[in-house]
Amino acid sequence: MFGIGMPELLIILVVALIVFGPNKLPEVGKSMGRAVREFKKAINEFKQSMDVDTDLTEVKKAFDEIKGDVKETIEIKPKPEPEKKTELAEKTPEHKESQ
């Protein structure tokens, strides 16, 4: 428990008894218990919030990857234009020999 042994715990209880007195000690204990409980509750809610944010980030990343894949698949690429024969190419001797 927080690295506190039995001797340290007894010293803390004795000091609390001296400071708050025997009548207020139960009241202070209840208040401390509520405070610790609320603190733990806030920490758990924060952890859950972070888990949800992490899950949403992972889902968004996966969605973006799928979106990119779909765009690549759907993207219409223009067909390459066939090469046009030029007059110069038709007049070259290499072209005439291959025909």
Determine, yes or no, domain membership for 66.
yes
User: How many folded domains does the chain comprise?
Assistant: 1
Structural domain contains residue 67: yes
Which pLDDT does position 45 carry in this prediction? 92
Q: Using one digit for the tens of pLDDT, what is the confidence trace for 27-38? A: 988 998 999 999
Residue 25: inside a domain: yes
Give the integer Cα–Cα distance in Å for 7 and 20: 20
Asked if the structure places residue 82 within a domain, the reply is no
Q: Is the separation of the CB atoms in 46 and 54 below 8 Å?
A: no
Would residue 97 count as lying in a domain? no
Going 9 to 11 to 17 to 19, the CA torsion angle's sign is: negative
Predicted TM-score (pTM) of this structure? 0.45
User: Which residues constitute the domain of residue 43?
Assistant: 16-74
Q: Per the structure block, which two tokens stand in for 99?
A: 């025909």
**11 within some domain:** no
Confidence at residue 70, expressed as pLDDT on a 0 to 100 scale: 83
Higher pLDDT, 77 or 42: 42
Does residue 26 sit within a domain? yes
Mean pLDDT across the stretch 16-29? 87
The answer to whether residue 4 is domain-embedded is no
**73-89 mean pLDDT:** 67
* The pLDDT of residue 22 is above 90: no
